[in-house]
Structure 1
Amino acid sequence: MKIIIIGAGEIGYDLASVLSKEKHDVIVVDREKTCLDKVSENLDVLCYEGNATSAKDLVEAGVKDADILIAVTSIDEVNMIASMMSKRLGADMVIARVRSDELSRPNAPLKSTDLGIDVLIHPEQSAAQEIVRLIKRASASDLINLADGKMQLIGLRIGKNSPLTGKLISEYAQEFPDITFRVTAIGRKGLTIIPSGNLRIQALDQLFILSKTEDIPAIIKTTGKPDIEINRIMVAGGTPIGAMIARILCNEEKKWNIKLIEPDYDTAVELAQELKDVLVLNGNPTDPDLLATEGITDIDAFISVTDDEESNIISCLMAKHLEVKKTVALVSKSDYIPLSQTIGLDAAVNKKSAASNEIHRHVRGGRVISVTALQGIKAEVIELQAAPKSKIVKKPIHQVKFPEGCVVGGILRNDSIEIATGQSQVNANDRVIIFCLPEAIDKVTSLFQ
């Protein structure tokens, strides 16, 4: 496919890297030559220096023949104008990243389709929802909903005193026959492992375990982690993500005790007027005296989502030092994710990876229902639907020639879900959850066509 990416920032670069490796014809458009130089030096893609809001530049970049146009600049208005013009110039599918929720509100006067946008990506909302899920499952470092929420993939750090330390994966499964689960991936000292039954679990391993959603609390107990009760939450930063987190929590049945710290006075006043059930404070969320005054030692969870990722990390480390049970930091650099738990954070969320995952799913299309990159390790979760005449159907899984570096996790058939074994069989139109290394994705996807 011919894919044009407008914006050579972190998301644009990441998408160009992945899509070019998949042998798509990728063209990156940006007005900043320095950004394009980084792309052209490292990736096998074409670059075009031009203005995304100029019809002349879009035509010269080849928008008329584009199968997909992806607008991911840092400015909403540029993405919207570029999308509208590109659609009228002939682009088949238009995907745009828009930070504001103006177009997605129920009573919005303009819809995304009015601007020629086929798929609207809202990374802030995705990040806020992920943080709320992590707060609800306080022992988890990662939590991903799969199969319409019927299954969950949970990331758990194995402590030195965990009862699982030193056990084989097969022994772990045999010890808990009443719980159906699958260890699908392990992060170990910067390496990503798709495990077999004879792999031994080590202290500080990051285990990614797939299970039915109702079995997740039991899974957490098997690792020896305490069942943490979260009631009092402090949010550092009244950014769009911070405000969304507060709104989501206020709409929950459970009544949370929420404090939100925002350094800008006017923003703090606006949030205080909107969020009636939240105590909004005007101050610096990295100020130890302010945190102490506001009772951070009595807080169960500390969430830092300011625009300064270093401040997010530092304030979370301070909170952890003061024995806060759960800390979550928003980071934009993907390199910080694997380091986050090493230095003492419980979880780190990257809103740009949420945008990349959503865009990648639409680019792949076909039988792909979802694609999610696991943070901190080089593995992806793919949810695929089996075509009636595909190679995956009508035979046990152990007879299917899967590429190296992948494992089948679960099968969703109508309303029933099954954790896959070698004897499991995939039927036509079943949805199958697969975990694999990036280099195996194309081969796995072809089995379902």
Structure 2
Amino acid sequence: MKTIIAGCGKVGSTLAEQLNREGHDITLIDVNRTALEKASSSYDVIGIVGNGISYSVQSEAGIEDADLFIAVTDSDEINLLSCLIAKKAGNCKTIARVRNPIYDNETAFLRNELGISMIINPEMAAAREIGRLVLFPSAIEIDTFARGRVELLKIQIPKDSVLHQLHIFELVEKLRCDVLICAVEREDAVIIPDGNFVLQELDTISFVASPKQTYNFFKKIGIKTTSIKHCMIVGGGKIAYHLAKQLLGLGLHVKIVERDRARCEELSILLPDAVIIQGDGTNETLLQEEGIEYAECFVSLTDVDEENILLSLYVASCSKAKIVTKINRISFTEIIAHLNLGSIICPKNITAEYILQYVRAMQNSMGSNIETLYRIVNDKVEALAFNIKKDSPIIGKTFDKLSLKSNLLICSIIRKGKTITPRGQDMIMVGDQVIVVTTNSGLKDICDILR
């Protein structure tokens, strides 16, 4: 699929990398020649120096033949205008990144009247992801398939858990839980387990289940399922505003610590039900005065990654709070993964993932049968959802007759709204959505699961 991306910043370069990895024909537009040269040398993309709102620049990029135009520059107005020009010049699908809250209530108009296919607000998307983690505090990560019918969750097995020294095939028999463990992280190893795999305490596991079965599984293994009532946020930026608004609407008590007095006054008006505290969130005395040791949830959202990391490490050392850490620059990922930072949120990756899901849905309508794709376990494992079409050669064959690739697991089948955990005698049928987890990258069709 031919895709043009205007903006070669954090989101634009992340999108270029991911889409290039998935085989798309990518052209990048940016006024920064150095950024384009860096991207062109790292990925197989074409770079064009210029402004995305220029018709001549878009023409040079091949807008007349493009399937998709994505605008992710630092300016909302440039993104919106460049999408309008692209729509007129190429009649392609368009996606705009729009961050200013004044557009929050106008997205329907922008889509319906101006013809922009998708509008993404990075801060609102990040707040939505954090909100899901706050409402399910035991999970490190949560992804969803089939409009929420199936969840992919990541947790760490606690010490003295009933899962310790348990074979995976014993889960159904002993715990009567219809879940499927699809990835295990043990020290530096990542394993796609079979039924004979033995779990150990402190393993980090990713599993697939329906929301009802997830709750049942957590209850059986003694993991907290009660929802959080109080949340403390350090940093009063846009993500904090969207998150607080969301949590207050769900009946939670929210406390925000922010340095800037003018921003505190603004938040007091925007969020009258929240407690706004002017102060330095990295001040240990202030945090103790605000009862950090009794906190149920702590979210570090300052603009400085190092502050967020240190804050989360401190809170982890003195409380049992659910911790969420915002990190903008994903460097030294192996080191960060071993720190006790709770759930890590990277806004640029969330924005890119939302856009990628739209792109994959476009591909699905153009012939591909990938509906959703997540990269989990530090990008070492892929979780994919395939839509099964009538011409697929794997239809009607039982799983015990399929010769599947190694390091690959069929986790779930969604059929007419019902979720099925597949066993040996189950089979795939037309119209199913099939969820696959694998360390093999580059799967583009359901047939690629076969040897």
SS in 1 for 2:443: helix
Which residue is 1:17 aligned to?
17
1:405 deviation in Å? Answer: 3.6
Which residue is 2:341 aligned to?
345
1:141 deviation in Å? Answer: 0.7
SS in 1 for 2:169: helix
Could you state the TM-score of these two structures normalised by the residue count of structure 2? Answer: 0.90
Distance 1:149 1:78, change over 3 A: same
Residue deviations 1:75-131 (CA, integer Å, cap 9, x gap): 3222222211111111522122222354452x6684134444212223322221221
Kindly indicate whether residue 316 of structure 2 is the aligned counterpart of residue 320 of structure 1. Answer: yes
**1:1-400 superposed matches below 5 A:** 1-105=1-105, 110-176=109-175, 178-226=176-224, 230-252=228-250, 255-335=251-331, 339-340=335-336, 342-364=338-360, 365-366=363-364, 367-374=369-376, 376-400=378-402
1:173 deviation in Å? Answer: 4.4
Q: What is the distance in 1 between the residues matched to 2:320 and 2:201?
A: 23
Q: What is the distance in 2 between the residues matched to 1:8 and 1:437?
A: 29
1:21 deviation in Å? Answer: 3.1
Q: Is the contact between residue 410 and residue 432 of structure 1 (CA under 8 Å) also seen in structure 2?
A: yes
Q: Which runs of 5+ in 1 are unaligned?
A: none
1:24 deviation in Å? Answer: 2.4
Residue deviations 1:153-189 (CA, integer Å, cap 9, x gap): 211112454343343322444432x210100122333
Distance 1:10 1:405, change over 3 A: farther
Q: Which runs of 4+ in 1 moved over 6 A?
A: 445-448
**Alignment coverage as a number of residue pairs:** 444
Distance 1:182 1:309, change over 3 A: same
Q: What is the distance in 2 between the residues matched to 1:163 and 1:222?
A: 8
Q: Is the contact between residue 410 and residue 435 of structure 2 (CA under 8 Å) also seen in structure 1?
A: yes
SS in 2 for 1:210: strand
Q: What is the distance in 1 between the residues matched to 2:399 and 2:355?
A: 29
Q: Is the contact between residue 408 and residue 440 of structure 2 (CA under 8 Å) also seen in structure 1?
A: no
Distance 1:418 1:347, change over 3 A: same
Distance 1:361 1:437, change over 3 A: farther
Q: CA RMSD in A?
A: 2.5
Q: Which amino acid aligns with 1:406?
A: L
1:206 deviation in Å? Answer: 1.6
1:340 deviation in Å? Answer: 4.2
Q: What is the distance in 2 between the residues matched to 1:117 and 1:293?
A: 48
SS in 2 for 1:442: coil
Distance 1:354 1:85, change over 3 A: same
Q: What is the distance in 2 between the residues matched to 1:141 and 1:109?
A: 33
Which residue is 1:420 aligned to?
422
Residue deviations 1:229-263 (CA, integer Å, cap 9, x gap): 632210112212111111111111xx322211122
Which of 281-290 and 68-77 deviates more? 68-77
Q: What is the distance in 1 between the residues matched to 2:354 and 2:225?
A: 32
Q: Which amino acid aligns with 2:437?
A: F
Q: What is the distance in 2 between the residues matched to 1:38 and 1:189?
A: 34
SS in 2 for 1:441: coil
Q: What is the distance in 1 between the residues matched to 2:447 and 2:245?
A: 38
Q: Which runs of 5+ in 2 are unaligned?
A: none
Q: Which amino acid aligns with 1:186?
A: V
Q: What is the distance in 2 between the residues matched to 1:256 and 1:104?
A: 22
1:336 deviation in Å? Answer: 5.8
Q: Is the contact between residue 28 and residue 46 of structure 1 (CA under 8 Å) also seen in structure 2?
A: yes
Q: Which amino acid aligns with 2:286?
A: L
Q: Is the contact between residue 403 and residue 440 of structure 1 (CA under 8 Å) also seen in structure 2?
A: no
Q: Calculate percent identity across the aligned residue pairs.
A: 28
SS in 1 for 2:441: helix
Which of 28-37 and 200-209 deviates more? 200-209
Q: Is the contact between residue 71 and residue 96 of structure 1 (CA under 8 Å) also seen in structure 2?
A: yes
Q: What is the distance in 1 between the residues matched to 2:178 and 2:169?
A: 13
Q: Which amino acid aligns with 2:414?
A: L
Q: Is the contact between residue 69 and residue 91 of structure 1 (CA under 8 Å) also seen in structure 2?
A: no
Could you state the TM-score of these two structures normalised by the residue count of structure 1? Answer: 0.90
Q: Which amino acid aligns with 1:362?
A: Y
1:192 deviation in Å? Answer: 3.2
Residue deviations 1:49-89 (CA, integer Å, cap 9, x gap): 22222222221122222121222223322222221111111
SS in 2 for 1:439: coil
Distance 1:36 1:13, change over 3 A: same
Q: Is the contact between residue 83 and residue 115 of structure 1 (CA under 8 Å) also seen in structure 2?
A: no
